[in-house]
């Protein structure tokens, strides 16, 4: 049963993002795409272990042949070196340009399969079937696809929009707790960027309200998709506005790399980074104190971490390792208030350090 639907519209693309109870309706959706020669589902072994039987049941009577290919799980396998194996498997199966690839999994699978779809035989169509909260609210929407190099994350990629996004919500019932934080942090980011109904919803919510099929969850995914769509619809290729979607990511990435991607999930690090951005916003853009207190209440109720545990000097070093640094300054996305983001704000090293030290000392964030 379809639970919610949104259209993502840009100057040369338009596609629906649909939230479904389960996989029912996926076959009809896929076979109604024009002139499909075959359907290639690409997933990882973990997702396959839990959900392959359901997707096979849905597709087994399909008039169009389908195949399932497997990738290794985890960010380190969203790697250029893993791409060739899938190209070879597609060629062995005689897959032509009328095939549709299905990215079935979290954001890692989505970015990886999207990259293969953007490049195999100069580009084939693909569909996103996200199974993590982060993929449902963020990575499946907007067409950024990429793989990693040894030299860095997402270093090779493309903008390649899916034909549609079909999110089978019941799969979230097996999502690990840390992965919920990832999605909730990105939802919070969207809420602060927009200041509309999503922020109101989050203000009334607590973490335990977010359950598969709960209206809090469905409405917040739907609203997140609306907010992200508005941005990518105007600036698909991140020539400007799309940069606002990086709120919290400058500090977040530095904390992730400082702690070697082990201590925090991406969303937890972004959550701490959002707090840094809000403290900088208060200092530099007069972000109101009352809004800061609202943000702290919302994020605490969602059990997102806000407190810096690491040494601020070390975080700073990792920030300035990032390729986007400009001498002694970095560019941040900051807020004048909720719903009033500003991107490309240059902040000096001393100001960043002062803010990180302030954040570390704020007992109310713990
Ligand atoms: P992920 O894909 O690694 O999934 C997290 C973990 O949860 C994995 O172990 C995965 O196998 C497991 N999992 C996923 N769904 C599950 C389910 N239903 N039940 C049980 N386990 C499940 O991580 P993610 O947070 O979904 O995505 C992170 C990736 O997304 C990163 O590579 C990031 O760069 C990318 N990303 C891309 C964009 C974009 O716009 N393209 C935006 C944000 C993030
Ligand atoms: N997640 C950031 C973007 O899609 O641009």
Residue 177 reports pLDDT greater than 70:
yes
Question: Among 42, 105, 107, which residue has the most ligand 1 atoms within 8 Å of its CB, making it the best to mutate?
Answer: 107
pLDDT at 322: 61
- Separation of 362 CA from ligand 1 center, angstroms? 31
183 lines ligand 1 (CB under 6 A): no
List strand residue ranges (DSSP E) for 251-356, in order.
329-335, 341-348
Burial of 144: CB neighbours in 10 Å, binned 0-12, 13-18, 19+? buried
Annotation: CATH topology of 177-365: Dehydroquinate synthase-like, alpha domain (1.20.1090)
Please state the φ and ψ torsions of residue 11, each to the nearest 5 degrees: -65, -30
Binding residues for Zn(2+): 186, 249, 266
Residue 11 corresponds to which tokens in the numbers above? Answer: 């100057």
Average pLDDT over residues 217-225: 98
Contact status, residue 159 vs residue 196, Cβ threshold 8 Å:
no
- Separation of 140 CA from ligand 1 center, angstroms? 10
The residue whose C-alpha atom lies closest to atom 37 belonging to ligand 1 is: 139
pTM as predicted: 0.96
For the chain, give every domain's residue range.
Answer: 2-174, 177-365
171 lines ligand 1 (CB under 6 A): yes
Helix (H, G, I), strand (E, B) or coil at 134: helix
How many Å apart are CA 296 and CA 288, to the nearest integer? 13
Q: Which percentage of the chain shows pLDDT scores above 70? A: 99
Q: If residue 70 lies in a helix (H) or strand (E), which one and from where to where?
A: strand 66-71
266 lines ligand 2 (CB under 6 A): no
- Separation of 142 CA from ligand 2 center, angstroms? 7
pLDDT tens track for 232-252: 999 999 999 999 999 999 999
CA angle 123, 126, 131 (to 5 degrees): 145
Tell me, yes or no, if the two domains 2-174 and 177-365 fold the same way: no
Does the domain spanning 2-174 belong to CATH 3.30.360.10? Answer: no
Q: How confident is the model at residue 213 (pLDDT cuts 50, 70, 90)?
A: confident
pLDDT at 152: 87
Contact status, residue 173 vs residue 22, Cβ threshold 8 Å:
no
Distances (CA, A) of 47 to 43, 51, 108: 7, 6, 12
Burial of 280: CB neighbours in 10 Å, binned 0-12, 13-18, 19+? buried
pLDDT tens track for 69-107: 999 999 999 999 999 999 999 999 999 999 999 999 999
135 lines ligand 1 (CB under 6 A): yes
């Amino acid at each position: 049963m379809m639970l919610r639907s949104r259209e993502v519209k840009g100057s040369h693309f338009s596609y629906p993002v649909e939230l479904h109870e389960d996989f029912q309706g996926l076959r009809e959706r896929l076979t109604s795409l024009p002139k499909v020669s075959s359907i290639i589902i690409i997933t990882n072994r973990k997702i396959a272990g839990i959900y392959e039987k359901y997707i096979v049941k849905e597709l087994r009577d399909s008039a169009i042949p389908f195949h399932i290919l497997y990738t290794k799980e985890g960010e380190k396998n969203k790697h250029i070196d893993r791409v060739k194996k899938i190209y070879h498997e597609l060629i062995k199966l005689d897959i032509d340009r009328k095939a549709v690839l299905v990215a079935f999994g979290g954001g890692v699978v989505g970015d990886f399969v999207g990259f293969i779809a953007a490049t195999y035989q100069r580009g084939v169509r693909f569909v996103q079937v996200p199974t993590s909260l982060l993929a449902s609210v963020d990575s499946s929407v907007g067409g950024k696809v990429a793989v990693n190099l040894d030299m860095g994350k997402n270093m090779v990629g493309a903008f390649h929009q899916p034909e549609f996004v079909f999110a089978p919500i019941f799969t979230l019932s097996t999502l690990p707790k840390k992965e919920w934080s990832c999605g909730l942090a990105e939802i919070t980011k969207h809420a602060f960027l927009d200041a509309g109904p999503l922020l109101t919803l989050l203000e009334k919510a607590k973490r335990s309200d977010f359950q598969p099929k709960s209206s809090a969850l469905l409405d917040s995914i739907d609203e997140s998709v609306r907010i992200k769509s508005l941005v990518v619809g105007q600036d698909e290729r991140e020539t400007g506005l799309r940069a606002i979607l990086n709120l919290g990511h400058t500090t977040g990435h530095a904390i992730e790399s400082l702690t070697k991607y082990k201590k925090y999930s991406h969303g937890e690090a972004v959550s701490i980074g959002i707090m840094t951005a809000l403290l900088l916003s208060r200092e530099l853009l007069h972000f109101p104190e009352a809004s800061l207190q609202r943000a702290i209440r919302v994020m605490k109720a969602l059990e997102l971490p806000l407190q810096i545990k690491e040494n601020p000097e070390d975080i700073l070093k990792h920030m300035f390792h990032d390729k986007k640094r400009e001498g002694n300054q970095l560019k941040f996305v900051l807020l004048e208030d909720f719903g009033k983001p500003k991107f490309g704000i240059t902040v000096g090293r001393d100001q960043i350090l002062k803010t990180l030290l302030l954040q570390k000392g704020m007992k109310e964030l713990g």
